[in-house]
Structure formats: C-alpha cells, structure tokens
Structure 1
Amino acid sequence: MNGERGIIRQADIAREAGVSQSTVSQVLRGAGDLSRISLETQRRVLTAAKRLRYTTSPQQRTAVEKRHAPPLLGVHTFEPIFPTSAGDYYFEFLQGIEEQAGVEGCNLVLFTAARDEGGVRRIYRGDVNALGQAAGSVILGHRAHQDDLARLAADAHPFVYIGHREVPGFQISYVGGDYRTATGRIVDDLVALGHRTFAYLGEAVRYEPQADRWEGFSTALDRFGLTVPVPAYTQPEELAAQWLDTALAAGTTVILVESVSLLRVLHAIIGLRGLSVPGDVSIMLLVDDTASPGAWASMQVPRNAMGRRAVRLLTALVTDPIGDYERQILLPCTHTLEPSVAPPR
C-alpha cells in the first residue's frame, strides 16, 4: 500500500508519475507553468494524484472524514460559457478546475441561476444566495456583476474569481493573468524590431483585464519616450475603415488588438484596402485565439493554470480561512510574434 497507514503522499505520486517529488509539489500548488513544467508532465502528475485519491491537506482529510463525503465546490458563470469543443476559449479554464478539484478531493456543481433583464446570470434571488449549497465557489465570466460579488463578500461566502476583479470596499480573492507585465514585454519586443508608431484597438466594455493591458502598453511606450496613441475602444460592428486609414496615414506600423472579434473585423478591412499582414502592417493580438491557434502573433493566457490555481486557492479559503497565504494572484503570460508581426518597412 502506498504511503503510511494508507495516506497517500507526494512521494507516492512522484513514483506513480515517474517524476521528482519537487515536480509533484510545484504542480499540486498550481505553480507548474511558473516553474516551466510541461503541460504533459503536469497532467501526468494530476492523473496520478487523482488515481491515488490524493488529498492535499490534513484539514481537508479531516473535513472529508467528518462529512463522509468530499467537499462540494460550486462553479458559477455570469454568462453561458460551457464549452462545446476543445477550441472554446473557456475549455482550458474548466478543464483546469476539474483537474485540480480531483487533486483536492472535492466535488463540483455547476450553478446556472436565472438571467436578469440584461442577460447576465445573477447569483442572488432576492435575499437568497443561489451558491449557498456549496462550501465555496469558483466564479468566472466576462461580464461580472459587481453587486453580486460585493454581496458574496459581505456574506463571507468563500469564492475565487477567475480574472482580475476589484470590488470597492472588499478585498476579494482572484486568480488572473498578469496582462500588464505581459503587454509591456510585447512592446519591448516590438520596439526591438524597429516599431515606433503604434495603434491600439480595444473593447468598448472595460474591465480590469482590459485596463491592465492598456496600462502595460501605455507605460511601456512612456518608458521608451514614444508617443502613446489615443486608443480606439469600440464594438466590432462599429469599427470603420476610416479608423485604419487614419492610423496608417499617421505612420502606424503595428496595431495591438484586445479581442478576437475586433481582430476579425480589422483583418477584413485590411483585406478590403488591398493590404497585407504583416507586409503593410503588423498585428498583435493581446489574447490567444483558441479557434485558430498559431494564426496570429498573440499573448498566451495560462487558462488551465488559472483554473487549477483558483480551485487550489478556494480549497485553502474553505479549509483555512484565516491562513497566511496570497489571495490575489496574477500568473505570468507568454507571447509569440509569429506570424503576423514583422519589422516595419
């Protein structure tokens, strides 16, 4: 039998997965990407941990014994995002949530509360917290409802938001991507290639992740003493060809784009103008295009790692609510400049 008195330890997982105990520790803490451990190795460790029924903390093992059932963690999305294919943007988030829940010895329940008049799924129905059946909840979605997050925090319901979110009056727990640092590094590389005149195309609805990208971009240009362009924040259907004409007339050689939907429209306009990418203008996408991987120079968001780290943090909040650990976490992002970025003419 593995482990002393039937308790599975990380050394048992290391033997099962054929890796070092240090690798197991990094993966189970949700730090595999930060430690540059390959995704294949991380999944081998998680599979071994799940097969051996490993639980990560003495507190959690005690909770399981007392309740005779694994802790129940909720997953709530503010809009319908359950993936229909592996190419869906949210697939890796949810896969990471499921993988880490298995490691933590928890069950998951998906909450699908009724929508409000704006089409956003709400957590509260009157004074009733629809997530109350769970010991704690992972929350994700593009359109967060601030009032619901504030009420959850006020009610002391343990939750972790996937993505950087700030709620006035509360220090909520979240796991997001470090978009500010990543965008600054992208600008570093673009300047190194010779780009000096930039344009910025952003989403009309601004949340913290969008603001982080812009701040990383503008701060980096300031650092180089380059002109910070006036950003265009718009809906895809409102993007006009005149915006591109004006940007190119001003000498723009590279355009940074916040969303795939904006990129699709921009690319169509570039084609209508008889221009090419990156021959006439370089394009940098500040998110990964999961539907067409490798088609654009882009930032790679560690979505699987964010899902796993969120569950890891939530488990800590449930089992050790006053413990001394980080509750607001930003994971590093990577990027590639191929194939839609080239030195300017």
Structure 2
Amino acid sequence: MVTIKDIAKAANVSQATVSRVINNGPKVGPAKRAHVQRIMDELGYRPNLAARAFVTNKFTSLGVLVPEILDPFMATFAHHIEKLCQSMGLQTFITSGHNDVTKEKLAIEHLLDHRVSAMVLHSKVISDEDLLKYSELCPGLVLINRLVPGLEERCVWLDNRMGSELVVEYLFSMGHREFAYINSDFEIDDPQLRLKGVKSCLTRHNVKLPNSAIAYAPPFHEGGAQAVESLMARGTKFTALVTYNDAMAVGAMNFMLDQGMHIPRDVSVVGFDDVVYARDARPQLTTMRYPISMMAQAAATIAIQSAQQQTIDPTIQRKYTPSLIRRQSVIERM
C-alpha cells in the first residue's frame, strides 16, 4: 500500500507538504500542489479515510452499493439506510453495480474518490481478497448479506440455507410430497445456498428433488414465468412450488393462472423476501420475510461507528434468520 512517505520521496517534497495536499491545506502553491497530486495519481495512492475523518473531524456521508436500484428488495434496503443516515444528519450516496465485477469495483472506487469513509456494500461478485483490500482503504466498509473470512465483525448476513429449509419443512407439514424449485440463474452464492437448503430438508424426509424439477431463470417477474413454463413443458409434476424470491413467485403464479390453473388448489407457492407485492399478489403470497430493515440499520450503524473509530456496539446482531409469513398461496394437501 502506498504511503505518504512514498509520495514525498517520489515527489521530492516533505511529508508535511503531501499531508497538506491530501487535506487541501494552505501553504502549498498551485504548481507544487498539482505536481504532488500527479505523483499520487501515478502511484495509485488513496488516503486512509477513517484517519482523515478523525484528523479533520469531518464525517458527512455514507455510500451504499446495491446490484439493482430498481429491484424492490434493494430499494427497501437502501431506503432504510438512508432513513437512518438522515436522522443523524448524514448524506447518503447510492450506486449500483449490476452484479458485474468491473462495475462494482468502479462504483466502490468512485465512492473512495469522493472521500466516503463509510460504506455498506451488497456485493456478491467481488472476490473476498479484493473486499479485504477495500476494507483496508475504508475501515468503515461493511458487507450485507455476505460473510467474508477475516471481516466477520463487519458482515451482516442472512442464513439463506436455513430459510429454504424452513420453507420446505412447512410445506411438508402441509402434506406436500411433490416439489419443484425455480431458482435464480445469477452466479452468486444466494441461489446455491437456498437450493442446498431445499435439497437438505427434502433428503431428511426421504424425498428426492430431480434435476427435472429445478428450473433456472433471471430472478425477476418474467423469469418466474419462464421457469415455471419450462417445468410444465417437461411434464414435471408438483403440488408445491418453492421459489428463489417473491418476484419469481408472482411471475410463476400469474403464468399458471393464465393457463387456467388455480392457486393454491392446484399448486401451492412460496416466495422469499416479503417485498411489497407479496402482499398485493392475488392470492397473497406466503413467503419468507427477510429482516431487511433490521439488517440495513445494523450494517449502517457498524459502518458509521467504524468510520468514526468508535467502539462497535456489542449488542448489534450480525447473523439473521428469515421468518415464515403465512398468507393465501399455500393449501393443505389431504
């Protein structure tokens, strides 16, 4: 990591001069300031944002990275962080990375360039190694819905596997024995963990989930329709449809309704997340409630306390388990 000492040596100036340039201080002429800044850029220097905030006694903003701003789940997540920041007089910068490594890295680096010393990242595609490096540059960096070895104290995450196990256990208690699963085709860990949970619970009940009963599609409304259409085209028989998220669940229900099927008499459907349209769907969607409000506030609090070099509140919860919300899309099989 490049230090002030390295910059001073390369620029042939004192460390005090470099410090003044970094902190936009006085007593540095325009030409020398430009020269030092050029050396900083060439060496790829980024200031220690937490230390800078401590020295200048300024902490005014928090950055938020989400995959998609239009996603109702992500919008809810960002809203709760922004609400907390507003109550503390902080500005929130929200950006998206579209589940693309290059775009996510660029978004994080833009936040660093704007001297954002606290960040909450919902990143699934950047490597653990790169996230560890970013955490060194920004000690107020916190990850949500991800557990990274070495950053455990700065991770707030959901037990996705347990959530899916609870779904299947509930459906099994309702008499269902023929299952199908529609999953996200995104190459991140959430779909894998949720599928593992489904299979694990079914295995305990001596029920197999063949590959023909699993369909993959983008995790949106249209993807849910595509996935269930694929299952039906294969002739897959199922009375219970477990879905990756609420968007796919509603899309699948609408497709089946358009085919003249009845929900839940013909097929019971369970979602995951409990976003707003789970309650607006017809029938209303039984789903797993993701405690996004609590998780978002916990992550933002850890980020802010870390950036301000405060002792982290030991009562802040980091691991969460979703809870079953029973509505109208599941019926008992006799």
Distance 2:184 2:312 in 1: 38
> 2:120 is matched with which residue?
138
Instruction: Name the CA shift for 1:296/1:319 in 2 (closer, same or farther; >3 Å).
Output: same
Instruction: Name the CA shift for 1:225/1:320 in 2 (closer, same or farther; >3 Å).
Output: farther
Instruction: Confirm or deny that 1:282 pairs with 2:271.
Output: no
> 1:308 is matched with which residue?
297
Distance 1:247 1:166 in 2: 41
> 1:89 is matched with which residue?
73
8 A Cα contact 1:72 1:108, kept in partner: yes
TM-score (norm 2): 0.66
Instruction: Name the CA shift for 1:321/1:232 in 2 (closer, same or farther; >3 Å).
Output: farther
Distance 2:79 2:170 in 1: 32
Cα deviation for residue 110 of structure 1 reads 0.2
> 1:229 is matched with which residue?
210
Letter in 2 for 1:77: L
Instruction: Confirm or deny that 1:75 pairs with 2:75.
Output: no
TM-score (norm 1): 0.65
Q: Would you say how many aligned residue pairs link Structure 1 and Structure 2? A: 271
Instruction: Name the CA shift for 1:293/1:245 in 2 (closer, same or farther; >3 Å).
Output: same
Q: Where does 1:2-13 land on structure 2 (aligned, <5 Å)?
A: none
Tell me the alpha carbon deviations over residues 108-133 of structure 1, each in whole angstroms, 9 at most, x when there is no partner.
330548x79969744448x9663251
Cα deviation for residue 327 of structure 1 reads 9.4
8 A Cα contact 2:68 2:74, kept in partner: no
> 2:40 is matched with which residue?
none
Letter in 2 for 1:186: V
Instruction: Name the CA shift for 1:190/1:106 in 2 (closer, same or farther; >3 Å).
Output: same
Cα deviation for residue 276 of structure 1 reads 0.8
Q: Where does 1:1-345 land on structure 2 (aligned, <5 Å)?
A: 67=56, 69=58, 71-79=59-67, 81=69, 88-101=72-85, 105=88, 107-110=90-93, 112=95, 121-124=103-106, 130-132=111-113, 133-140=115-122, 144-146=125-127, 149-153=131-135, 155=137, 157-166=139-148, 173-230=154-211, 231-235=214-218, 236=223, 238-239=226-227, 241-246=229-234, 248-249=236-237, 252-293=238-279, 295-320=284-309, 329-345=318-334
Letter in 2 for 1:280: D
Tell me the alpha carbon deviations over residues 41-67 of structure 1, each in whole angstroms, 9 at most, x when there is no partner.
xxxxxxxxxxxxxxxxxxxxxx99975
SS in 2 for 1:183: helix
Letter in 2 for 1:226: V
The answer to which structure, 1 or 2, has the higher relative contact order (CA under 8 A, 6+ apart) is 1
Distance 1:130 1:80 in 2: 17
- Structure index of larger Rg: 2
Letter in 2 for 1:227: K
Distance 1:307 1:319 in 2: 18
Letter in 2 for 1:162: I
Tell me the alpha carbon deviations over residues 251-303 of structure 1, each in whole angstroms, 9 at most, x when there is no partner.
x2101011344334422431243211111111111222323425211111111
Letter in 2 for 1:307: A
Structure number with the higher helix fraction is: 2
8 A Cα contact 2:53 2:308, kept in partner: no
Instruction: Name the CA shift for 1:309/1:79 in 2 (closer, same or farther; >3 Å).
Output: same
Instruction: Name the CA shift for 1:117/1:215 in 2 (closer, same or farther; >3 Å).
Output: closer
> 1:42 is matched with which residue?
none
Aligned-pair identity (%): 17
Letter in 1 for 2:188: Y
After the TM superposition, which of the residue ranges 181-190 and 193-202 deviates more from structure 2? 181-190
SS in 2 for 1:239: helix
Instruction: Name the CA shift for 1:324/1:110 in 2 (closer, same or farther; >3 Å).
Output: closer
Tell me the alpha carbon deviations over residues 212-271 of structure 1, each in whole angstroms, 9 at most, x when there is no partner.
22222221112222213323222317536341254643xx21010113443344224312
Instruction: Name the CA shift for 1:172/1:202 in 2 (closer, same or farther; >3 Å).
Output: farther
Q: Which runs of 5+ in 1 are unaligned?
A: 1-62
Q: Which runs of 5+ in 2 are unaligned?
A: 1-51
